[in-house]
Structure formats: structure tokens, C-alpha cells
Structure 1
Amino acid sequence: MDTALRPASGGDLTYRDATPADVDALVALIESAYRGDASRAGWTTEADLLEGQRTDPQGVAAVIESTTSRLLAVERDGELVACCQLEHRDDHAYFGMFAVSPALQGAGLGKEIIAEAERTAHATWGVPEMHMTVISAREDLIAWYERRGYRRTGKMTPFPYGDERFGIPQRDDLQFELLVKELVGPRP
């Protein structure tokens, strides 16, 4: 896979495969988007649902080093502003670890980044679908993904209670819902 910087359609953002040297900055970005008071500057915060960490250096490094995953680092003017994981899973791609700097949320970057992630997954692996899991209590986030063409499946998986690598739940009803989107266009 080409790891060179690739300008986005508007030339504003660049995308590249993350490297081990990016791990600390990626962990800080992901944590800032989802946990603690810093995350409250954006709308993707999970601070009312979960405390503790969202990810750790080992988890981010594992995605970077995997032969079936890519962790896209998204930069603007050389500064890391977002990231997302793409993983090839049989007949689909999985989208995860999506984070946009809280200071930049609500400006349309997320929409642009997810479109690039879909294009990349389809072009790289020729998969017909993108899958993701979202905490079902995150109705605002699920609605955002629905506006991007994802559909709710009603398929739930339990939250990993007791595994603090995923955070410390503040509620006892957390679960993940599978969202799916068909990727259109000619196969590579």
C-alpha cells in the first residue's frame, strides 16, 4: 500500500499510513476526542458514558503493525488532526478508531475523512461493504452515520465490562450496534 501523503479532494487534508513514531500523538488525539474534559469541546465525547482510557499505545501500535489493518493519519498543514482505522475482514472492511480533534469537530472534516476511508477501503481491498460498531446509547453519533449512508442492523454485541482497556462504564446498559454501508463504484 502506498504510504505517501495523498492530498484530499480539496487539498486541505493529507492522508498517510500511521507509523510507530505516531503512536503517542495518535493516543493523545483519540483520548482528547472521547474522554475527559478536553473531549467536551467537541460533540463526540463519551465522557458521560465512560471514564478511563479509550485506547492505549499497545492497541494503537497493534493496528499499525497488523497486516490486515491500516491506521490513516490525517494531517492539515503538517499537524495531526484526525485518524481512523480500516481493517480487512473477509468480505468487508471495518471502520474504527475514528477521531477528529475536538477543536475541529463540526466543521465537516469528519464527513470528508469517512468518505476518503470508504474510498480507500474499496480501492485497497475491493470490499462491497464497510462495517462499524457504535455504542447504541450514542443516538446523536448513530444519526450522523445514518446521514452518511450507514444503516442500523439491530445486531448488538456486549460492551466488554471489566476490561478497563476500553474504559470504565458509568452505566450498566452499554452495548455496541453494528452499522453497515454498501460501498459503491467499480471494484479496483
Structure 2
Amino acid sequence: MEIAPPRVTHRLTFRDAAEDDVPALVELVESAYRGESSRTGWTTESHILEGRRTNDDEVRGIIATPGGRLLVAEADGAIVACCQLERRGDAAYFGMFSVRPGHQGAGLGKTVIAEAERVAREEWGAGEMQMTVISVRAELIAFYERRGYARTGRMSPFPYGDERFGVPLRDDLEFELLVKTLRSDEG
């Protein structure tokens, strides 16, 4: 018997991350991608990478980056999702996208992506959103394609040997650039 995912019925609020949020954001990112808790959601990378996904210093760096934001989504006063936005010329970069595993599959991720795209388009005037995804993550890439992102075939190497990105369990990892044109008539 298949159990339906929880339905998110509470109102989301969005804000920029603050220094006080760092521990909660690190915990959120880790819960979505690595370790046992990530296995309850569909975004886990635990089958391809071990080790940490981020740390306090990296999250602090993103918060402090000029031309960047770490967008936080809260529901009922609790952080349930986040994403990094960074200006890159005419484009915006979308990264560190995390949704708490217990909230995945209920539409929250789509809402966060839509807000990130709105910020990039309306507040920054970005014409394109860019992201990199580990190319073997077919289900995740398909999720982004359903949101209008296109595969470019432009690959960059995975940083093997740099444990800040995790400890690879396979030798075929690389990042693919995905892009989406942001039009002013989207909403």
C-alpha cells in the first residue's frame, strides 16, 4: 500500500538567512542530502557520497557573499527549506537547495524554486537561472526539467580528493550545468 506524502498546508514565509541561522541551516542541508535522515527523502546523495555536504564556515560564507543570498523558507516558525542565490553577470546561480525530508514530495520545493526565480528575475533582473547537478542524479535532473530547466551537456569535474564536497562512492561523478530562461511574463 502506497502512503501519500504529507500535504503542506501551512503558509510559507521567505527571508534572507542570518548568522543565527547557521547551525539550523547546516542541519537542514545535511538532513536533505547525507546520512540516515536523508534516506527518508528522495533528494539523498548517500548512495553516491559519504561525509559532510556543508559546514558552518561554508554557510556563513554564502550569507556574507556580496551579490548573493541564502533564502530561507519557514513554516510555522521552523526552517523547512533553503537555497543559495548568487548574481553571475546577467544570470543567477541557484544552489544549496534543501527541503527537510519530511516535507519533500508535497510541493514545497516547487514553491521555493518559484520564489528563487522571482527574486532573480524581479529583484536582480536576471535573464537566466543556472545550477549544477551531479550528472548521475537522473531523478533530480528530471525534477528540474519539469520545472523548465534544460540540460546543456556542459560538464565540470567533480572535485575528487576535496572532502568539503563529500567522499565519493563512485568514480564517474561530474557536474552538469542546467539553465532556465527567466522571462518577465512568468509569475
Identify the TM-score tier after normalising by the shorter chain. Answer: over 0.9
Task: Give the aligned partner of residue 158 of structure 1.
Answer: 157
1:32-81 C-alpha deviation (Å, 9 max, x unpaired) = 00001100110000000000000111000000011111001110010000
Task: Give the aligned partner of residue 148 of structure 1.
Answer: 147
Change (3 A) 1:11 1:118: farther
Letter in 2 for 1:49: I
Task: Give the aligned partner of residue 116 of structure 2.
Answer: 117
- 1:1-188 to structure 2, matched below 5 A, reads 12-185=11-184
- Asked if structure 1 preserves the Cα contact closer than 8 Å seen for 2:10 and 2:76, the reply is no
Partner Cα separation in structure 2 for residue 78 and residue 183 of structure 1: 30
Partner Cα separation in structure 1 for residue 20 and residue 66 of structure 2: 18
Letter in 2 for 1:101: R
In structure 1, the gaps of 5 or more residues are: 1-9
Classify the secondary structure of the residue corresponding to 2:183.
Answer: coil
In structure 2, the gaps of 5 or more residues are: 1-8
Partner Cα separation in structure 2 for residue 173 and residue 68 of structure 1: 33
Partner Cα separation in structure 2 for residue 173 and residue 80 of structure 1: 34
Displacement, 1:125?
Answer: 1.2
Aligned length: 178
Change (3 A) 1:11 1:45: closer
Letter in 2 for 1:130: M
Classify the secondary structure of the residue corresponding to 2:118.
Answer: helix
Letter in 1 for 2:102: A
Classify the secondary structure of the residue corresponding to 1:47.
Answer: coil
Partner Cα separation in structure 1 for residue 30 and residue 142 of structure 2: 22
- CA RMSD between the two structures: 1.3
Partner Cα separation in structure 2 for residue 168 and residue 140 of structure 1: 21
- Asked if structure 1 preserves the Cα contact closer than 8 Å seen for 2:122 and 2:184, the reply is no
Displacement, 1:83?
Answer: 0.2
With structure 2 as the length reference, what TM-score do the two structures score?
0.93
Partner Cα separation in structure 2 for residue 56 and residue 11 of structure 1: 29
Classify the secondary structure of the residue corresponding to 1:97.
Answer: strand
Classify the secondary structure of the residue corresponding to 1:95.
Answer: strand
